[in-house]
A and B are shown apart, each in its own frame.
Chain A
Amino acid sequence: MSTQMRYPKNTYQDSSHDSGEWKDLDNILIDDWELLACCTLSPNQKPNSLVVTNFKFNIPQDAIIHAVDIRLDFHRDSSQNSINLEPPTVRLINVKEDYESKPLHGPTVSPIERSVLFDGSNMSPAELNNPDFGVEIIFDENESEFSGDLFFDFVRISVNYEEQRFVIGSLNGEGFPVKEKPLQKAVGETFIYTVLFNNSNGINKDPQDIKINLPEGLEVINHYFGSDKKGKIEVNEIDYEEDRFDFDMLTGEQEIIYDDDEIDLDTLIWHTGVKGIGMSRLRLELKCVSEGFKEISAFNEFSGTGAHFYVEVHPEGYEHEPNVYEESLLKWKSQLDVDEDYQTLNKEVVIEVNNLNREFDKAQEKVDNLKEYVIKWLKRDLKPKTKFKALTDVSFTINRGERVGIIGFNGAGKSTLLKILSGVLRPNSGSIHINGKVAPLLELGAGFDHNYSGRENVFLNGAILGYSREFLEGKYDEIVEFSELEEFMELPIKNYSSGMIAKLGFAVATLVEPEILILDEILSVGDVRFQKKSGDKLKSMMNTGTTVLLVSHSVGTIRAMCNRVIWLDHGKIVMDGLTKDVCDAYVEAAKKASDDELTGLEI
């Protein structure tokens, strides 16, 4: 999978007679979180719609587009009484089909990257390479009774596409022992080496040969082909020219076109069984015959050499580090699939949720003032409220160190669950036991006071998060250093740029290494450099055994980050299990789901 990320080179606004004019529009061409385009809106006024074009993509002509990921930032000014807008409509222009979607949230005070994702399977590289290809952002009118400023920071587009036809990899992408950390073995011992061959776009249907480069001193004892042949379909049943793009390699069974795998054990050439889109797996059980540092790899003429596998063979009777071997699975840690990883973790329960229920009143019946309430009461018009169940009998336990993703279509109850877990909402019934300090990274800089200096806000925001004065004083220097705002700490933050506020918010929110981290999307803040820094910080938090709960609309993010996934639908748990299984089933179900449910989700 390759990705091209681009910023637009052209921008203009589409003004109608009474909509708000954008000032400094060219600032949205730069992704610096400092220079912004601004539009002042009075009540019921719309901002001009924005058009950005000329992205200068150069996607290879034979690539298959998977997804077009649009990131943008818009936010409102920080005064108490400000504007209120629905999320804007984001539309692709100068493409054959109609693509239209909305980010999940309208403008808030914090500048946070919004995302809109389009399925790219019906787009062609030529369309995207065209300089006229662009994005139109159409805002609704300001619904608030107040005037205020709407800011716009940047638009950038990432196109995910498949260019390479074949991929050789390890089964899981991570499980191979690297050169710096080879698998430790003694003479006479055996281990498993797995190669995955992935024909990812099915353009080339010729069966492929893969040569296994096995060094001296390793011997093949056994071999297995680990292919999924459940949905084996004969090649001639499928009209490739018509149907090719409907296939999704990730969803598995149906479209695998398979012959039998074969391997010649003398030459170690593997004739892969897969003929179209699909995967073949070869698992070799190898025995260490002689001592030394060994490197195993696989080679195919189109895809080249895949990941290298390193093993260090010690003299017979070599004592291994005791914790390297996973007794429960009878495997070496470096041999484990990512999915298997968490099964070996400590089984200490950190979150236990039993039969959680939460109902809400249907919004349209809400009576929010006394006058209306009394009138309705007098007219005997106070209907018994109809409820809808946001969560029904949700139960699960999460062990220490698990990284759990929560997926589901819009309205499935994901954010309700997250709010309950972070203590903001109470369930109507059911119990929650949380064992450890929770850091909810739902909103950065909640409760910042704009008349306060940066320094005072660190303490205010820290206090809101429940930290003590002594703790914050001890961590203060660290926060300042991380936020890179040393010179500005004594200034009121109303003079800060939105990027600076986001940096400070991130620095305060992540100042502890919490035992449980609750994330609503992976937060990325600040300029590109700070984004990397904040991303690294989150990763390091996750790697220290922190239990992570991540709600994301991107299945890709979930696959990359989580080892377990809970799928919610209409408030109930549909599936709870290994990332791959749940994500595959979810993607399959997403094909049948209505557009409404899918708005803003990335499949």
Chain B
Amino acid sequence: MFDFKNHYRTFKNYSFLLTELIKRDISGKYKDSTLGLFWSFLNPLLSMIVLTIVFSTFFGRTIENFPVYLLSGKLVFDLFANATTGAMDSIKGNSEIIKKIYVPKYMFAVGIVCSEFINFLISLVVLIAVMIVTGAPFYWSLFYSPIPLFFLLLLTMGVGLILATLTTFFTDIKYLYGVLTMLLSFMTPLFYPIEIIPEEFLFFFKINPLYAAVSSFRDIVLYGAFPQTKFLLYLIITSIFALILGVYLFYRYQDEFVINI
């Protein structure tokens, strides 16, 4: 049913398109600003400073090294939010091309997810800088970080593909997802410790795979430990599930994109 050889060949033929799309997405992100790519550093740094000033008075005592705690969560969350939103718009945004020329359509979604991931890697420089400035220790556990990041990438890709498929049929998904990401950002302990959540609501936080991703990443960066098994396992399961669902939906409906965009 699924012709891997053929798909691989198509992917190889269009691999140059993928690099061009990634290049376009990255350079397009801050295209009209004079600082350009420098915003990739400035953006997380500034928001970290603001949030630290506001929230460290509340949680500063319970959380050790609040700036690093905040930044490590926020970078992971922003990667997910920016990449899924980008993937959601990628089909409609490239409708002029899709309607005119045959191109493997997933390239646009994959392209934006990859470029956001590269953007994330660039922003990690800020995290490292903040760790140095605040005197945070660097643990050997940092070498584990590709594991949760890889599954985060799969999760992002899967959710991105699902959203890209849905928005071509229902234009208002875009607005719904805007609200949902905001909700999700509060449902993920980015600037507060999970301990402040009452026991009876904890379940709703635990089913959020981003909580698992953020916690795993923090275990590695902040606490020098291998991610807790329950979080890592939950992240792996949800990410694979999301990816399979995303790929299935996208392939099932991609032929109808052309007449709906």
Binding site for B on A (CB under 8 A): 80, 109, 360, 368-371, 373, 419, 422-426, 440, 442-443, 446-447, 449, 451-452, 459-460, 463-469, 472
Contact = CB atoms under 8 A, between A and B. Distances in A.
B178 to A, nearest CB: 14
Contacts of B255: 425-426
Interface string B1-45: 000000000000110110111001001100100000000000000
Given A425-B258, A465-B101, A368 B20 contact: no
Contacts of A465: 101
Nearest to A423: B102
Given A449-B28, A463-B16, A368 B170 contact: yes
Contact of A466 (B17, B28, B99): B17
Given A109-B96, A422-B101, A466-B14, A373 B28 contact: no
Contact of A459 (B13, B14, B20): B20
B258 A369 contact: no
Contact of B103 (A109, A464, A469): A464
B16 A469 contact: yes
Given A459-B20, A463-B17, A463-B20, A424 B172 contact: no
Q: Which 9 A-B pairs have the closest CB atoms?
A: A423-B102, A463-B17, A370-B170, A426-B255, A463-B20, A443-B100, A447-B97, A369-B172, A446-B100
A242 to B, nearest CB: 49
Contacts of B98: 424
Contact of A442 (B20, B100, B169): B100
A466 B17 CA distance: 7
Contact of B28 (A371, A426, A451): A451
B101 A464 contact: yes
A537 B226 CA distance: 63
Interface of B: 13-14, 16-17, 19-21, 24, 27-28, 31, 93-94, 96-103, 169-173, 176, 255, 258-260
A423 B104 CA distance: 10
A460 B19 CA distance: 9
SS class of chain B's interface: helix, strand, loop or mixed?
helix
Given A370-B173, A426-B255, A440-B101, 19 more contacts: A360-B259, A368-B170, A368-B171, A370-B170, A371-B172, A424-B99, A424-B101, A424-B258, A440-B100, A443-B100, A446-B97, A451-B27, A451-B31, A459-B20, A463-B16, A463-B21, A466-B103, A469-B16, A469-B19
A443 B99 CA distance: 10
* Residue from B24, B102, B173 having most chain A Cβ neighbours under 10 A: B102
A452 B100 CA distance: 20
A466 to B, nearest CB: 6
A274 B16 CA distance: 64
B102 A460 contact: no
A442 B101 contact: yes
A467 B101 contact: no
Contacts of B24: 449, 452, 460
Contacts of B100: 424, 440, 442-443, 446
Nearest to B170: A370
19 contacts: A360-B259, A368-B169, A368-B170, A369-B170, A370-B170, A419-B258, A422-B101, A424-B99, A424-B100, A424-B101, A426-B255, A440-B101, A443-B100, A446-B101, A447-B94, A449-B28, A464-B20, A466-B103, A469-B16
